[in-house]
Chain A
């Protein structure tokens, strides 16, 4: 099967989804991100790697946090950044996207960071662009959000380095969550032995077990003795009613409170990809509590995005072989 994310030498060419990426590449991204964490703590929070490159943030769907962290990441790599918020509603989609992309290529863009409400939008662009241009998926529909999955794993690794010993629960709206999909692929690829999903039947995709997770409908049972609790946002905007009785009811059953958190291991960490619905999926006491690593997730998100961009942008001067080190 042709994997559009990797070049013929197995190096990362685009980042479209975690699915299909070998463990080696995931570890390369995570290890490189370690080196970028320190850059943000220096006098000059910048390295010159992407000097002279232009990164285009193409956001067909709103997201302040993701767009901002990609923008900061690109700027800390010394790239020039253009952020475009492109409305989707106006025209028929496929054509418009590629036209927009072609125009930006004509302006000598080197990298695209794409968010779109349609699954596969980033793939479409990646298939379309010439070889020296790289595409990063910043969230497409319900499909994938690879940098979020990576930053979550990175955060877990920071607090719980022994991934092969962990029991991790992902709680909430799995059905609509591209974050959950990316997290599950990343965690299982990196050898986390037990990944649980906890959700009502209406918020679970069909055959979710096939992703290698243990399914729980009961929060109390599912949280028992876990090392990490990953909460998901209840995605009201993606729901067409009738899936849930009410948000209050949801909070009672699946909202993370201090009492429910006590069922997890005493040193368990609590994560949330943001934006949080306080009082819906997570209680304020927990979100702001000692076990919460929600803000470190944001900080590490920048290091992860820097790592991905730095790995993608190097070593590809106009399609030459680029692998002299291995040859001759």
Chain B
């Protein structure tokens, strides 16, 4: 589809650690004064924590702040699926007003999580701008929302479920699973 790597239906997924480095490289020029990073639970927060280390000097130079969002209270499937068993407090320890916010997510799919995250952010204040970076765009968008930066495009079937996992030692890995029915995990 694009000139980025694509892995249609292949069990050979790229190494998440490699993708992380690509992402850091692409993200660096966006990091300027008055930007703030916001990771979306859970995968986006893991990514952000790694990016904070990889881009430490740039982040320190511009005094870039960061926070986390758990979009449980803003999801559009609450009426069907209820509240998730596990949800964590969102933590935005800085003033959102007039900030250039960079949302970080692991796998971009339907765009519904991003929609929820954007809505939640606006309840903290009025940002100057919001952009989205994701490790992987897996296709299947359902809303007019797209990431500005991705490290890889991996088009997948609706029955396939791509997930970022964190090993006990902190390294990240991608995991592909097959579901018998589509759309059970669309909001993840």
Give A contacts to B, CB under 8 Å. 11, 28, 31-32, 34-35, 37-39, 42-44, 46-49, 310-311, 314-317, 322, 324-325, 328
Contacts and interface: CB of A to CB of B under 8 A. Distances in A.
Given A31-B87, A314-B78, A324-B81, A44 B70 contact: no
A35 B124 contact: no
Prevailing SS type, chain A contact patch:
loop
B73 A47 contact: yes
A38 B89 contact: yes
8 contacts: A31-B86, A34-B89, A43-B123, A44-B123, A49-B78, A314-B78, A315-B80, A324-B81
Contact of A35 (B72, B122, B181): B72
Contacts of A34: 88-89
A314 B83 contact: yes
B73 A315 contact: no
A19 B79 CA distance: 28
Given A31-B86, A37-B89, A315-B78, A43 B73 contact: no
Given A43-B124, A43-B125, A317 B73 contact: no
Given A35-B88, A317-B80, 5 more contacts: A34-B89, A35-B72, A322-B81, A325-B81, A325-B184
Interface string B56-94: 000000000000001011100011111101111111100
A314 B82 contact: yes
B180 interface: yes
Contacts of B92: 42
Given A42-B124, A316-B82, A324-B184, A47 B89 contact: no
A39 B82 contact: no
A22 B184 CA distance: 27
